[in-house]
Amino acid sequence: MQLRYSFRLYPNGPQRAALARAFGCARVVYNDALRARETARAAGGVFPKTGDLSKLLITEAKKTGERGWLGEVSAVVLQQSLRDLDTAYRNFFDGLKGKRPRMGVPRFKTRKDSRQAVRFTANARWKITPGGDLSLPKIGEVRVKWSRALPSVPSTVSVVKDAAGRYFASFIVETGPEETLPATGQVVGIDLGLTHFAVLSDGTKIESPRFLRRAEKKLKREQRRLSRKARGSRNRTKARVKVARAHARVADARREFHHQLSTRIIRENQAVAVEDLAVKGLARTRLAKSVHDAGWSAFVAMLEYKAARYGRALIRIGRFEPTSQVCSQCGVKDGPKPLDVRVWRCQACHVWLDRDINAAVNVAKAAGLAVTACRAQVRPGPVPAQREEAGTHRDGQPTVAGILSL
């Protein structure tokens, strides 16, 4: 499978200027190609092909005075910009056909976009120098902060600038079956929530870090300062970067938490079961901020690709499975319960159950995993004895225990 490894870049002044030129040229070619296709569509003409657009908007445009500065950047960057437009159209039409979720029509890019990116393929002859720098055509050798080694030789590298002004190198590498982990007999079901980020069927509860809530005070302060700056001023630009950096720290901390937890779960268990939550629907409720702060979709996506990478199984169960209504001990459905009910008693077997652990066990059982439900029990509930069992029998006469006359 293909994986993406990202590393922080630290370009100097001239290199940042060269990257800005590359971002701008790629954006101009993308917009010119989009304009040509939309003009042809409005006129009812033939949809221009990528090869024709490449010849017209790159090769021929470099010879004109209006677009002569396109020659200052690598041609591969401009070609990849056209491929990005093809991908955008393909995703749009596949969404109309029902092959994937609906996507909007391709839109024009602007230099004010919070994210700028260019891509270099092997044809661009980029390389990693013996000193550990990233050598890019017409940009130079950029310093890289290597946090880990690449598992194989990368085929493509993208240079990304985010809203906080940080630069990243994103490598695409191929991984093989040599990364498959040894088999283990452990299986687990996961119930995702807000009070506890995840509750496992073995009784483990992982507290929700609530990164956004913890940083909310600082975010409000920086956002308030931004709102007071005059539009178009340099001070407003500085304040905007401070807000973006504050949000980036929250996103980075959440992503690191997801990576560590998902890796631990995948390494310890052979099969993992999760519930297919309706995150979009929950994000339209009063719990929207907490739902976005938890980041369930990103976490499940990490579980999915790591399970495929390491030879594990990830099973999703339907979102309408009544995991919180069924007793994991006897299997009797006890009906829906308010969210404030965290411990409930089964009316059939009279066992007190922890709502979250019981749901995690039911998630695993619904996925066909053989898990024990012993950890779902909070404490054994007293079973009322029948009247005829409340005493001893002597000579056929029932006598209540404890009140026998001496």
Q: What is the pLDDT of residue 399?
A: 44
Confidence of residue 384 (pLDDT cuts 50, 70, 90): low
Model pLDDT for residues 272-287, shown as the tens digit of each residue? 999 888 888 888 888 8
Spell out the alpha helix ranges (H) of 269-295. 279-282, 288-294
User: In this structure, what token pair is assigned to residue 329?
Assistant: 């001990």
Q: What is the pLDDT of residue 401?
A: 41
- Give the mean model confidence (pLDDT) for residues 44-59: 90
Strands, E, within 28-107: which ranges? none
User: In this structure, what token pair is assigned to residue 98?
Assistant: 């029902």
Active site residues: 191, 275, 356
Better-predicted residue by pLDDT, 226 or 334 = 226
Q: Of the spans 78-87, 101-110, 335-344, which averages the highest pLDDT?
A: 78-87
Q: Is the dihedral of CA 90, 91, 92, 96 positive or negative?
A: positive
Q: Is the dihedral of CA 48, 52, 56, 58 positive or negative?
A: positive
Q: What is the pLDDT of residue 327?
A: 83
pLDDT exceeds cutoff 90 at 386: no
Better-predicted residue by pLDDT, 330 or 37 = 37
Model pLDDT for residues 202-259, shown as the tens digit of each residue? 888 999 999 999 999 999 999 999 999 999 899 999 999 999 999 999 999 999 999 9
Model pLDDT for residues 67-88, shown as the tens digit of each residue? 999 999 999 999 999 999 999 9
Q: What is the pLDDT of residue 219?
A: 94
Q: What is the pLDDT of residue 385?
A: 53
- When mean pLDDT is compared across 88-97, 157-166, 340-349, the lowest value belongs to 340-349
pLDDT exceeds cutoff 70 at 377: no
**Amino acid of residue 142:** V
The C-alpha angle 31, 171, 95, rounded to 5 degrees, equals 50
Model pLDDT for residues 115-160, shown as the tens digit of each residue? 999 999 999 999 999 999 999 999 999 999 999 888 888 989 999 9
Model pLDDT for residues 33-46, shown as the tens digit of each residue? 999 999 998 988 88
pLDDT, mean over the chain: 87
Q: What is the pLDDT of residue 379?
A: 61
Helix/strand/coil percent split, the chain, to 5: 45, 20, 35
pLDDT exceeds cutoff 80 at 99: yes
Q: Of the spans 226-230, 336-340, 377-381, which averages the highest pLDDT?
A: 226-230
Confidence of residue 406 (pLDDT cuts 50, 70, 90): very low
pLDDT exceeds cutoff 50 at 363: yes
Q: Which residues contact 160 (CB under 8 A, 6 or more apart)?
A: 6, 115, 116, 117, 167, 168, 169, 170
pLDDT exceeds cutoff 70 at 325: yes
